Structure 1
């Protein structure tokens, strides 16, 4: 196992502010004069994941899962979209695992090996929190059984063998998450992972002691950012920046 000290993973329930936190971390490194390469934007525009040569001259990479190319694009447009194809939750888990493997091998590890910093919104932690709940709610399969299945998938195993140095978990009270979801109009995608009851349960999973102990046992530093009472995006960004400054001793 190799702890990836320059790898910052930002996680949390939908509408918690994790995207805003990621933007804040990006802005912080940009303020230090670091050049930023957005893997997500590149993939949307070029319909592929970047090669090392595409980002070799940049200091910091901004990434996210699922990706916006190949398997990741299929996940976004098919696997997790409500339709009549009826993918089994374990099939969807396999899709995420394969997408993750490609991202780590093609982008994340080469970037980190070259001394770059990688900021990522969502990753294997999302699989460990969302998918056991989704499988239980839709198929009645016990969470422990799905958890074991997730740990057996090659892409997930590979990611867990390369844990992030910093895991920033952005949370909020369930009631606040629901209010934000109702107010959010720029993203209406019918994702099965954006149901009201699901958000309540997944929040508990992110705050569980089991998840914390699991990653702390791998050497990961975990920081929590509660956005329940933050005044808005500016404060969320500031708190995320403080967590990163503390971790990197900047």
Structure 2
């Protein structure tokens, strides 16, 4: 099964992905987590670009696609073929939302990503840009993608996405968010979730 955890920066994706890996392993699942951008040459270039905007949105999109091709070929497909549950900390939904918010055509971005494995479940952690930026600033300096107006557009696109998408309110206490996400994932894996069980 392929699960993507998505949302604007500061929504808690990495925390939730780590938590899911831990919880699913406790339940006996063979789980791996991958992150985008990756550590490929394309991923490294993307991270560089995040610091200094020196390419067009089109060139940026091209790098994200190449990085994803690398990730699918080297990480995602081998893990899925090996019967593992794969959890993505960002996947192509982020490209649709972030590059779409830069003005690129959302439908075209979707089409370019149709070649990749489709997630069985997409969890969108939804927070306001204001909350997200407050969380980011508590840890580090925001990068150029992290601006209220821009994140507002990104969030709108995320919330417009359909197909196996579950939106979770991530404004709440992290323990509540963890419980809700775990419930959605466990039920998606075909098990019943004991809401009173201790996490």
| Same fold (TM > 0.5) | yes
Q: 2:118 aligned with 1:157, yes or no?
A: no
Query: Partner residue of 2:159?
Result: 207
Q: How does 1:179-218 map to 2 (within 5 A)?
A: 179-185=134-140, 188=141, 191-208=143-160, 211-212=161-162, 216=163
Number of equivalences: 191
Query: Partner residue of 2:14?
Result: 19
Across the aligned residues of Structure 1 and Structure 2, the Cα RMSD in angstroms comes to 1.8
Quickly say closer, same or farther: Cα 1:204–1:148, change in 2 above 3 A.
closer
Task: Give the greater-gyration-radius structure (CA).
Answer: 1
List runs of 5+ in structure 1 lacking aligned partners: 1-5, 35-58, 137-142
Q: What is the rounded CA distance, in whole Å, between the counterparts of 1:19 and 1:67 in structure 2?
A: 14
- The offset of 1:25, in angstroms, is 0.9
Which of 201, 217, 226 lines up with 2:169 in the alignment? Answer: 226
1:171-218 deviation digits (Å, cap 9, x = unpaired): 013332232233233xx3x6321222211221111112xx21xxx2xx
- The offset of 1:103, in angstroms, is 0.7
Q: Secondary structure at the match of 2:62?
A: helix
1:79-126 deviation digits (Å, cap 9, x = unpaired): 22215xx21110010000000011111211121112111000111101
Q: What is the rounded CA distance, in whole Å, between the counterparts of 1:181 and 1:114 in structure 2?
A: 36
Q: TM-score, normalised by structure 2?
A: 0.87
Matched-pair contact (CA < 8 Å) for 1:20–1:236: no
Q: What is the rounded CA distance, in whole Å, between the counterparts of 2:123 and 2:70 in structure 1?
A: 23
Which of 101, 113, 129 lines up with 1:174 in the alignment? Answer: 129
Which of 11, 31, 38 lines up with 1:60 in the alignment? Answer: 31
Q: Secondary structure at the match of 2:122?
A: strand
- The offset of 1:30, in angstroms, is 2.3
Which of 90, 94, 101 lines up with 1:126 in the alignment? Answer: 94
Q: TM-score, normalised by structure 1?
A: 0.70
Query: Partner residue of 1:70?
Result: 41
Query: Partner residue of 2:65?
Result: 97
Q: What is the rounded CA distance, in whole Å, between the counterparts of 1:9 and 1:152 in structure 2?
A: 18
1:2-48 deviation digits (Å, cap 9, x = unpaired): xxxx00011001111122221221121122244xxxxxxxxxxxxxx
Q: Secondary structure at the match of 1:225?
A: strand
List runs of 5+ in structure 2 lacking aligned partners: 192-199
Matched-pair contact (CA < 8 Å) for 1:9–1:122: yes
Q: What is the rounded CA distance, in whole Å, between the counterparts of 2:49 and 2:138 in structure 1?
A: 25
